[in-house]
A and B are shown apart, each in its own frame.
Chain A
């Protein structure tokens, strides 16, 4: 009986450890290529421009939405912070990437961009948007909730998500670092997502 109790203790400890470790690893890993995004929702955009851009307006989308609900074939998520010098420096390049997509009839409407401000309040995200005249939607993540789900990545971090016609999705790009040469980045996005 005593022996059984010892074994039981060891098994309980082992199970606790495995559960704890599994949870910890899951929380610490950025979205992997070939995998899916963690489960999170973004609030309905306040501006109608952002709503229309993401295709999350109308009677079906009055509240929070998930990334795969965005009307696009590919979504590029940018994890940034207004306090991050590299994100500040990279902002004009990301804007130019957006313009390149919007000015190309073959890409417009198919690739959508959105930014998530890790640890930034609505006010701070608003300042960043105004300072760099950012034309695509930005969302705040003041309490680092989404950032934690994304494996607490450093910034700027880009995640490419392919949205399939059946509503399923797949991460095809997940990398730390500024865009800089946006032509190369865009070509990579197009190729890796299988868009063309």
Chain B
């Protein structure tokens, strides 16, 4: 009889799980993406071992951008502060809900003599289609696709599944790392904190 009770309970719980719709992700709400966002569900907050430290020289890189030209970190040495925004993957909830916000605050970056470089491990065609939904972006979007995730790996933010962490790295004009936020992949970093970090560079 106990077995029967257990069976009844199992059947009822399974029915609840199967019948009820899965929870929606609170991010990527914009109708701009229609139903094209892949719902990843909650992921392990971080899944890599950081290889860079505050005060160290940022590892250099040269990556192709969606607009065609190659972009090197070294191009900005002595000229601009740089914010690297690594996001895990195109067409995923939080990532699709991050850069469009940065896109309307160019003046905040300009005010702190900074540029923003958006980086993912996706290839250029995917990045092209995805960022087209965001409107015209003012900052370069770079592809760390091949060799796969090489730049993310240099910084120690390549996750074990081949995506990168959601990370913000602020690099000053001397090429020195001044701020690192390897953020919980499931959350959007606070814009306010990033702006405060840029203010500290003055």
Contacts and interface: CB of A to CB of B under 8 A. Distances in A.
A154 B37 CA distance: 12
B15 A17 contact: yes
Interface residues on A, range: 35 or more
B12 A121 contact: no
Nearest to A79: B29
B111 interface: no
Interface stretch (B76-84, B97-105, B115-123, B146-154): B97-105
A178 B26 CA distance: 19
Given A2-B1, A85-B134, A128-B104, A152 B26 contact: yes
A24 interface: yes
B29 A155 contact: yes
A88 B31 contact: no
B38 to A, nearest CB: 15
Interface in A116-131: 118-119, 121, 123-124, 127-128, 131
B92 interface: no
B105 A9 contact: no
Contacts of B43: none
A88 to B, nearest CB: 6
A144 interface: yes
Interface string A69-106: 00000000000011111111100000000000000000
A88 B5 contact: no
A178 B16 CA distance: 36
Contacts of B21: 24, 28
A83 B190 contact: no
A20 B21 CA distance: 12
A6 B2 CA distance: 9
A177 interface: yes
Nearest to B192: A123
A5 interface: yes
Interface string B94-135: 000110110111000000000000000000000000000111
Given A17-B16, A20-B20, A154 B8 contact: no
Nearest to A123: B192
A21 interface: yes
Contact of A124 (B30, B32, B103, B191): B191
Contact of A119 (B8, B27, B32): B27
Interface residues on B, range: 20 to 34
B31 A86 contact: yes
Contacts of A83: 30, 97-98, 100-101, 188
Contacts of A81: 29-30, 97
A127 B192 CA distance: 10
A192 interface: no
Contact of B12 (A17, A147, A153): A17
Closest A-B pairs by Cβ, 7 of them? A13-B12, A84-B30, A83-B101, A123-B192, A85-B32, A155-B29, A86-B32
Interface of B: 1, 4-5, 8-9, 11-13, 15-16, 19-21, 24, 26-27, 29-32, 97-98, 100-101, 103-105, 133-135, 188, 190-192
9 contacts: A9-B8, A16-B16, A82-B104, A83-B98, A83-B101, A84-B100, A85-B134, A148-B26, A152-B29
Interface of A: 2, 5-6, 9-10, 13-14, 16-17, 20-21, 24, 28, 81-89, 118-119, 121, 123-124, 127-128, 131, 144, 147-148, 152-156, 176-178
